[in-house]
Structure 1
Amino acid sequence: MNKRALAVAIVTALLSGCQKSGHEEFKMESSLEESDVIDIASQEETVEEEIVTEIISKDYETVAKSIDAYLQEQLFNGVALVSTGDDLILVKGYGLANVENHEPMTIDKKFQIASVSKSFVAVSILQLVESGQLTLEQTIDTYFPTLPHGEEITIHQLLTHTSALYSGDDLTNYNQATTLDQVIADAFKENNLYYEEPGVYAIYSNLGYDLLGAIIEQITGMSYADYVRLNILEPCEMTDSGLNMDAVPLDNMATAYNGNIAEGYNAKILNPSFGYASGGLHSTVMDLFKYDRALAKNELISEESFKMMSTPYSKIGNKDYGYGWYVDMYLENTISHPGNLIGWHSMLLHHKEDKVSVILLTNHDESDMNMAFTIARLVLTNLESQ
């Protein structure tokens, strides 16, 4: 397939949105340029010009090149996708997916997306609310009768980090397979589950989102991983995403590194089940773009539910939080969420008027994911000048 035909195929497939019936799967590799971080002596013919000028409308060529230059200046190592509505502005891999093998980064590489997973929990909960199986004001003692203060904690509080439950990051073993039941059983053994009384303060809690995953399991009678697969991933044809609870090595996964990737320190190996509902998803930029489009078009939840999800209810530090998203963090009229795990950083940013979306995935933990806001401002400035 020639480059132009490949570009048309990709754009056509992406614009189809979430569908119940299957379409032909597509994949595309990105280019890799020489950079100040890693010198690639020889590469096969790249598709940089394809990405900058043919996949993207000519209207966005200037801003695409500006974004590309900015990411290279920042020594970004990973995959970036920038769009406005359905239109791709830039999608490109930077640096290396594996230092030892000198493997270039391509846009089909899989990454752990860490806490970007939380919006998938929120979407799942809102789907159950829409179907009448759950209410946001419902207390969680029905599902966890032995949990202290369970009769005081609501679904809304878990979603907004106002349950006062502590984070729970120490409840799972990085190197062993983990289940939600195990996480919750370990949590209930703790004497200091709470920082304060429920509903008083907003305190970021991964445990709270794991409890939401367990509630989804109790209501639906299926695992959280299966629920997400059947109700989010498959409808959106996100074929390279999922929760790898069987801990089977994944094909085409980038290799994670601690610190500066040029120094090649392999990150501590995480069992793929680590994080589960609160942060256990893996994905690709193209799959996350499908997810972004589905949310924008109300294909997963209603417009009313999307507005609820993107409304600020609490403040974590000085940042407003909705349901699974930070709201207007560093840039007005946006929802966004970073993800941080050992060796993995991620960011998904979406403009609520659908003017710009930015997805950044990296396989080392020294990247500043707030680059997404600078990129979004570049796009918004470009749109305003047209």
Structure 2
Amino acid sequence: MQTSCRKHDKRKMKKRNLSIFIMVLLIIGLLYHTNSFMDHGIHHSKGEILNIPVASPQTPTSHHIDLYLKNNHFSGTALIVKDGKIVLHKGYGLSNRAKKSNNGPNTQYYIASLTKAFVSTAIIQLEEQGKLTSEDRLSKYFPEFPHANEIKIKHLLSQTSGIPRRNENGEELTKHELMKDISRHAKTLHSKPGETWEYTDSNYSILGVIIEKVSRMSLHEYITKFIFNPSGMEQSGFGDADKNDSYISAGYQRRFNFIYSPSKTHFSQLLGSGDSYSTAYDLYKFDQALTTGKLVSPYSLKKLFTPYKNNYGYGWYIQQRNHTIHGHIPGWSAINSISKDGKDFIILLSNLQSLSELKKMYVEIEKGVGNENFTAFTHYKIFMNF
């Protein structure tokens, strides 16, 4: 009888141990899957974990996008939001090849022309305050500027001023020297203001100086106080101010199979047009603040997102389903896209891919987020219209 009881107890013990073992395996598997998918959580630069709403990491959309980015050797950070929930926020590839550090959710990238969204927002804010209007002529701020009586602020915002492009290089310029060089190029306009769309950084550099004149603050101070701070953007800044920050990525380019570090345009030549850096999550904060009334009114937001020439609004490309802005400087490319219903967001920041490569990736991802037929990731759709 005692022998029978001992056998029964042993069987019960084995079953209990097996159950515990299975539960431990399930918990470990779940933790591993979640951590590997979300890059060990999303941390602020000071170490605390950010409270970010995250959808299930097992959604087909997130799995397909993750696989696509891996298969296409994406180097950067991707943040994808679907129906108001983050389905992917992850780094890929190396942030610094010499240090062998990885890109992650916290990695900062130079975002080039995404800076223009901050500047156009600042102009609209000042217009709401009655300090300027989009109908103001340049002569109000720069009487000696060529064609100052013809060019209006709205022409600068919509890239229809007719001012030709200028070549940007690694030379450091003072603000006076920058404006002098822009003025020299503007002596002969390519078209009558308001008639033709022609993209040039000069338009937004001029807007940046107008913001300084009207606000009596430096452009960087204004954007930090009235855009970054209200949006909760704590990992964004300008130029080389934080170049020793370990979170800032190194920029690379690929030529055939050779990856190298290109020479940079000096940020003094990109005032207002491309001199800022940020993280994917900070840009998501900006997008949310912009579209929910924290930065501008719904009426003003409509002005930003109204297509003028070439489906270009005030700093944004207006597409059928999305408002999109993109940028590139040697070593970095960036895309930020907001769906028209404000529920879906696609943010891609890269320290290797060219802008054309990043656009192709964006198209495939946008199809997946939009529940279209997501391809087997073996080819790219031709997409160069924005």
TM norm. shorter chain > 0.5 = yes
Which residue matches 2:148?
Answer: 150
Question: How far apart are residue 296 of structure 1 and its match?
Answer: 2.1
* More displaced 10-residue stretch of structure 1: 369-378 or 233-242: 369-378
Using structure 1 for the length normalisation, give the TM-score.
Answer: 0.79
1:58 is aligned to 56
CA deviation vs aligned residue, 1:251-288 (integer Å, no higher than 9, x gap):
42111112169733112134344412011111011111
Residues 1:378 and 2:368 are matched in the alignment: yes
- Flag the 1:203–1:269 CA change in 2: closer, same or farther, 3 A: closer
CA distance in 2, matches of 1:10, 1:310: 33
- Residue 242 of structure 1 corresponds to 237
- Counterpart in the other structure of 2:117: 119
Match of residue 334, structure 1, among 322, 335, 352: 322
Q: How does 1:218-367 map to 2 (within 5 A)?
A: 218-244=213-239, 249-259=244-254, 263-315=258-310, 320-328=311-319, 332-366=320-354
Any idea what SS the aligned residue of 2:326 has?
Answer: strand
Question: 2:63 corresponds to which letter in structure 1?
Answer: K
Please state whether the residue corresponding to 1:279 is helix, strand or coil.
Answer: coil
SS of the aligned residue for 1:183 comes to helix
Does the 8 Å CA contact 1:115/1:339 hold for their aligned counterparts? yes
Count residues with an aligned counterpart: 336
Distance 1:289 1:355 in 2: 12
Say if 2:181 is the partner of 1:181. no
Distance in 2 between residues matched to 1:262 and 1:295, nearest whole Å = 40
Contact (CA 8 Å) 1:111, 1:361: kept in 2 or not?
yes
Please report the RMSD computed on the Cα atoms of aligned residues, expressed in angstroms. Answer: 2.9
Gaps of 5+ in 1: 15-23, 29-53
8 A Cα contact 2:253 2:262, kept in partner: yes
| Counterpart residue type for residue 369 of structure 1 | L
Report the Cα offset of residue 188 of structure 1.
2.1
TM-score when scaled to structure 2?
0.79
Letter in 2 for 1:347: I
Q: 1:48-127 maps to which residues of 2 (within 5 A)?
A: 56-58=54-56, 61-127=59-125
* CA displacement at 1:60 relative to structure 2: 6.5
Shift of 1:173: 3.9
2:208 pairs with 1:213: yes
Higher mean C-alpha deviation, range 213-222 or range 246-255: 246-255
Separation in structure 1 between the aligned mates of residue 129 and residue 69 of structure 2, nearest angstrom: 43
Computing the radius of gyration over CA atoms, which structure comes out larger, 1 or 2? 2
Shift of 1:59: 8.4
CA distance in 2, matches of 1:85, 1:219: 39
- Stretches of structure 2 that go unaligned for 5 or more consecutive residues are 1-30, 374-386
Separation of aligned partners in 2, 1:136 and 1:129: 7
1-structure distance, mates of 2:147, 2:189: 9
SS at match of 1:211: helix
Amino acid at match of 1:372: Y
CA contact (8 A) 1:246 1:273 kept: no
Contact 1:110 / 1:240 at 8 angstroms: preserved in 2?
Answer: yes
Letter of the 2:85 partner, please give it.
D
Local SS of the residue matching 2:178 = helix
C-alpha separation in 2, matches of 1:309 and 1:220: 20
Indicate the percent of aligned positions where both proteins have the same amino acid.
30
